[in-house]
Structure 1
Amino acid sequence: MKKHTISTLKSIKGKEPIVMITAYDALFARLFEEYADIILVGDSLNMSFLGKSDTLSTTLDQMIYHTNAVCNGAKKSFVVCDMPYGTYIDKKEALKNAIKIYQETKADAVKIEGGVEKAETIKYLTQNGIAVMGHIGLLPQFVRAEGGYKIKGKNEAEIENLLKDAKAIEDAGAFCIVIEGVKSEAAKIVTKHVNIPVIGIGAGKDTDGQVLVWSDMLGFFEEFKPKFVKQYLNGAELVKEAIKKYADEVKNKEFPSEEYEY
């Protein structure tokens, strides 16, 4: 599959659904590359990779480390690096950290959570050569401030706020928007009202594409399963079965057999 650019991603809005998946290392990025239009190095790695309870303690250096690994594994993929909590508290701080990501990785873009209140920051970044993917709706980096993961778009006022956020991000120069944890009808309305691709996660089928965390969709993350996640593989059980078989064979002196000896 030919690598996407910002222009090609914009051009397929409404014509071809965009496939996005997270990855944190070269091994899985290489496996995903053939089928994913975009690979997101998400700060979700703090939970699924490091075992933390939320994304808030992710550091910029961690994101750079994992983005480099993903870029090494999927050299032809369009790679987006999440900017972690606290790295874009104002536009100058955001630019400094985004430049660090660009200089130290081959990421094609960064992702920032927030709507109207982050529009000035997004504009500042795009004016300085940084490609930005926006993120509205349920914002994982705001989980403590909001007292949990709150679904958005449940009434007209919330839909209006989502529209304002999406338009502000688009006007600021973002090339794409992730919309998370919103009512399906709200996501459909937002998608129709902006000219850039809208990629949903827990937002129904009427967006321009979908994104899932790889360890959720492949059944490796066992702590909990969000309602919107479809598991395409029972990964954890398959791995456990294989490890048990290996362990049993080692205990019983069945492995290595002569076949595996020099």
Structure 2
Amino acid sequence: MTCAPDSPAGPSDASSPYGPAPSPGARPTRPVRVHHLTRAKERGERLTMLTAYDAVTARILDEAGTDMLLVGDSIGNVMLGHDTTLPVELDEMVVATRSVARATARALVVADLPFGTYEAGPAQALASAVRLMKVGANAVKLEGGRPRVQTVRLLGEAGIPVVGHLGFTPQSVNRLGGFRVQGRGELAAEALVADAVALAEAGAVAIVLEMVPEPVAARVTATVPVPTIGIGAGARCDGQVLVWTDMAGMTQWAPRFARRFGQVGQALRQAAQAYGEAVREGSFPTSEHSFDS
């Protein structure tokens, strides 16, 4: 990601703390930084985040003006064919993060710490996070609340911004008993708010809230000074995140909280079918696609 110094705001970017989203096809020059996230919350500006796992997709989403690209351990489900995120290795996250960062000019690149790379304590988390930062991440994301406070604080002291993740935490799917909404009931809601406050006080720059009742997510959003990024947490978070394949209609099934904003999967299928037909009938390649001797 480009790390050019901030330039003074001019008339064209006066409405946003980090400059306007670029027009289609334009390559922006002013990157989103972590302090812009809090500034956006203070100004009531909604933040956008999408997952990305490769350079081709990252470049498209970045040019579309997405504020944050999450190199999620959801790569396990989405790209690697696993049923959960648990099998994802740090080496796989390093490759994906490097690819996304190389293709990104504006968006803040956030990389997940996969299962087994930070649970042993702050020292393990620091070693894992350093690997992701060295290949281009601008921040790392980890799951859990108050038990992660020391880790968040240590990473922050080392210069590594941390995004927290509360509610349904996919790496704890076995303990949670499956894909279930979290934070229901007063005790659970109180615990979730306490976790969010603890993460913010430890230095987290944002907090993802996944599969949380909307009133609870709204309460967290009003309580903590850092942005909340919702996924299945209602409309009152400071921003939203979706897995890009769900957002773009790449699969036949998508979770209830996702909305398809396109039918990319259908378009890709049609393109592949058209290609196959052209090859079989001999209409591709033609002289236009060939070289003279």
TM-score if structure 1 supplies the norm length? Answer: 0.96
Once the two structures are superposed, residues 209-231 of structure 1 have per-residue CA deviations (whole angstroms, 9 ceiling, x without a partner) of 00001011111133x31000100
Instruction: Report matched runs for 1:239-250 at 5 Å.
Output: 239-250=268-279
In 2, Cα distance between equivalents of 1:106 and 1:260 = 37
- Please name the residue that 2:81 is paired with: 51
2:133 is equivalent to residue 102 of structure 1? yes
Instruction: Report matched runs for 1:60-209 at 5 Å.
Output: 60-89=90-119, 90-103=121-134, 105-209=135-239
Once the two structures are superposed, residues 180-215 of structure 1 have per-residue CA deviations (whole angstroms, 9 ceiling, x without a partner) of 011111111110010000000010100000000101
Worse overlay, 154-163 or 35-44: 154-163
Q: Structure 1 counterpart of 2:106, which letter? A: K
- Please name the residue that 1:20 is paired with: 49
Q: Structure 2 counterpart of 1:28, which letter? A: T
Once the two structures are superposed, residues 26-77 of structure 1 have per-residue CA deviations (whole angstroms, 9 ceiling, x without a partner) of 1111111131111110000111111110100111111111000001111332
2:71 is equivalent to residue 41 of structure 1? yes
What SS does structure 1 have at the residue aligned with 2:166?
strand
What SS does structure 2 have at the residue aligned with 1:107?
coil
Provide the alpha-carbon RMSD of the alignment. Answer: 1.2
Following superposition, the deviation at residue 155 of structure 1 comes to 1.5
1:138/1:181 contact within 8 Å kept: yes
Following superposition, the deviation at residue 120 of structure 1 comes to 1.6
Following superposition, the deviation at residue 20 of structure 1 comes to 0.6
In 1, Cα distance between equivalents of 2:81 and 2:105 = 28
- Please name the residue that 1:257 is paired with: 286
Matched positions, count: 260
1:199/1:211 contact within 8 Å kept: yes
Following superposition, the deviation at residue 85 of structure 1 comes to 0.3
Q: Structure 2 counterpart of 1:184, which letter? A: E
- Of 28, 32, 45, the match for 1:4: 32
After TM superposition, which residue ranges in structure 1, 4 or more long, deviate above 6 angstroms? none
In 1, Cα distance between equivalents of 2:141 and 2:53 = 15
1:48/1:221 contact within 8 Å kept: no
Name the % identity.
38
In 1, Cα distance between equivalents of 2:34 and 2:285 = 50
Once the two structures are superposed, residues 136-171 of structure 1 have per-residue CA deviations (whole angstroms, 9 ceiling, x without a partner) of 000010112222011012221111111011001001
Once the two structures are superposed, residues 67-95 of structure 1 have per-residue CA deviations (whole angstroms, 9 ceiling, x without a partner) of 00001111332101100001001111111
User: Structure 2: any 5+ residue segments left out of the alignment?
Assistant: 1-20, 22-29
